[in-house]
Structures are given as structure tokens and as C-alpha cells.
Structure 1
Amino acid sequence: MYKLIQNKSKPGYETLMDILDHYPQMRSEWLMRGDEPMFKTDDTKPEVKQASSYTGMPSVVTVDANGKEVIIVVPRKAEAGYLLARDVDDTMEEPETLSIPDMPGGKTVRAFEVSGNSMQPTLNQGDLVVATCTERLDLIQPKHVYVVVAHDRIMVKRLRGPVKRNEPIELLSDNRFYDPFILPQTDLKELWQVQAVVTRSVPANTNEAFDRMLVLLEMLAHDSTQLRGILLDIASRYDVKLVGEAG
């Protein structure tokens, strides 16, 4: 609690639930979203939880000329349209498609363009994540990366783990400068588990510095051997002994 008060850490879902259990007069809307008032009043009607509308089915589906469902790519520029559209034609006039060996196309597979740096160093700006649709929230794999499609945004985050019906979902960033994000389940539209990454960022050679050091050591060893030979030749000419030479 001291760390929370000093803003040294952020509360997780379990901590928020413990606070509400210990202080039943406190409103969950105020604790999680800052909506006033802070405490329940006598004339406040009993809080009715809105049922989750998550169906586990994507809202946008497209097929090729042969009627086969394909993997469509949702670039950053099409994000707003994707959130609102019920038909892919409303989202992009000519949607990009992606074909990956051993990964079947279909309405359960989708590719999203990564925006921002909240998932660095795992994911970078402009990467494409290929993900499969998660039909049930109790099937969420703990600490796996997911694409979360909410009513007003699309996010790529790591999820804490499975959630029960109507429970909020805790979204985590790999970039330690970003705080956890609590998403009400009623705001969730689609959930996709990341299975593959297509990246434009080629990692640097982590052994480059070590390789260069070996080259320098070899050069020093070669130079020292050559120098020692010259010194021995000079010493023999003037009949002197080098320090360290046997008598």
C-alpha cells in the first residue's frame, strides 16, 4: 500500500478487488476509472453489472475470388474503419492480404500492424502480428501477447491470464515505462492471440563487439611476435641478453 501511495507501483486486478472487498462503500467506477462520486450513497441504486457482449467472433470477414477466406491485414491507417465496420468493404476498398505457409487463412486469422513502442523490445513500430481469434476468454494463455480490439481502440498487449464472465481484463506492456491498463469486459469486441510476427527490424549482431576484439588480439599477438623476433636479432648482434631470457 505504501508503494501505491508513493506512486512507485500500480495496483493489479487482484489488488483492486481486495480494496473493493474491504471497502464495500467505495464505488468500483471511481476506483478503476475515476468516475464520481467516490462512495455509494443511500439513494444510489444497486449497481447492475452489464453483461459482456463478447461473442468470440470477428466482425469483419473477407474471401477471395474462389470463396476461400483469407488473412486480411489491418494497417494503422485503417484502424478506425475496422472498429466501426461490419463489412470489410467499409474498412478498406482493396484490403491487403497475407499468405503464410502452414497457417490456414480464414475468419479466425488476421494480421495487424503494430503502432507505438509500448511492446518494445518484443515488438517494434510497423511490425505485423499474425493472430488467431480467441473464442472464449477463459482460454486466454497467461502472459501471452494478444491483439485487443475495443470499441475505441486496437491494442497489442500481454494479458495477465484467463478472466471470468464480466471481469475486467488487465493489459500489460513489455515496455516498463507503460503502466498496466484495465479494460472493462463490456468494451471488448475482438480478441486475437499472436502466433507469428513479420518484422522489418533486423537485429544487430550481438557478437560483433566480441568478434572485433578477437581480431585485435590476433593483431597484437602477431605484432608482438614480430617485435620479439626483431629484438632477439638485435640482441644477438650486440651480444646482450633480453630480460627474461634463459642464461
Structure 2
Amino acid sequence: MDINGRFNQIITTLFKGNKSAFASAVGVTPSVVDNIVGKRQGKPSFEVLEKVSAIAEINIEWLITGNGNMLKEQTQKPAAITKKEKLISTHSGNETYFESLTETTKKDKGAIPLVSERAVGGFANEHFTIKEKDVLAYYVIPKFRHLGVDFMIEVIGNSMIPRLYPGDIIACSIIHNSQFIQWNKPHLIATREQGLIVKRLRKSMEKDCLLAVSDNHEYDPFDIPKDEIVGIARVVGVIHLE
């Protein structure tokens, strides 16, 4: 299988054959995707390869050479988060070093679950619960105590640089009513086609859509139909890992 075939495999496997959804997730135009997987069978630029590897969690070696597995190997627990004195930033914009980043158990008061991506696919449901098998660890973080944090999750992709970097841990508060969206603030959005994405949300000019905006200016804003959204959580804090 050549590199064009591997692109097609990604679209088929992760995006159910939806090339437009793949283009939006990666941050390229549909014409770029058509050029690679369409009749022309053009070769992707290195910039496109980097975007696919970062956003879609694709193994770059497999993408280029065909060697290894398609998906990057996922670690069960980000090792750096267990260390103290990591930089914690809250919604207020202030940053400080906080020594009490402590791994604990679910029983401890104020324990926040660090979850895998599959745990939060449908958190629009008012009865949303996190299954224990999807929890990577629990942490007590005093600075998050009064922020209404429901869960934490690792950032994937570079579309929110310089606000968020791959490997950062974001603290999320689930929004059960769209009236409580804080416009132009970072949110974690669960979508039917693209999975989980982190973007700033703004009002869209399109009917029944929200405008998703990246901090990384290499990624163009795009509209998300409201009926494609299955959950929204406000990003109220972030732990920047070293």
C-alpha cells in the first residue's frame, strides 16, 4: 500500500469515509484531501503529514513508510503529571506553581479523574458517568477545588498552540445548557464525526452552527452544526507538562 492508500485507510477507519470531516479535523482544505486520495493521487506535503500525525494521532513512520501500526501507542498514564511543581493555569489567567498535585483514589474528597478519550464521548447526557475502566488516575488539585471540574483529559494535537500544547492536561467542567457557553473561551467539544476537539467557541454566521476557532493561526476556523455536537465542556484550567 502506498502513502495515498494509507491516507484513504485513515479516512475509512477513523472518519467512516468522510473526507470533509477528515479535512476539518486535520486543518486542511477538502481540495488538499481530494488531491491525495482522489484520481490525481498527489503526494502530501510534509506540512500535511505533520498535521495528520498530530491531530489524528497517526504514527508518522507508518504514514510515510508503512512500517509499524497506524495509531500511535497510547500510554496509560502521563508520567510527568505525577511529579510536583507543575505549572497550573486557571480560567482567571493567573499562573502559579502548586506543589500539591497528588495522585490519590476515588474515595478522597475532591479527587478528579484523569480520563481516556473514550470516557467522554457522550457527556451531553445529563446522566453522564465515567466508567472506572476509562479512568487513568485520580488527582487532588487544590487550585481546581472550586472550579466545578468534572474530569481532566490530555490534549492531543497542536491546533491550540500557544494556549495549549500536546500532552497538557485540561480540567473540564461539563456544560449542560448551551446558554452557559462562554464565548471565545476554550472548550472541549465532543462531535459525532470528528470526535473530541478543543477550540474556542464563537457565534456563527451560519444557522444552527457554532464557530470553532484555533489559537494556532495555521488552522482556519470552521462551523460545527449543533446537531453534530454531543457534548460541550468548558476548559477551566490547564496543567502544562514539562
TM-score, scaled to structure 1:
0.46
TM-score, scaled to structure 2:
0.47
Larger CA Rg, structure 1 vs 2: 1
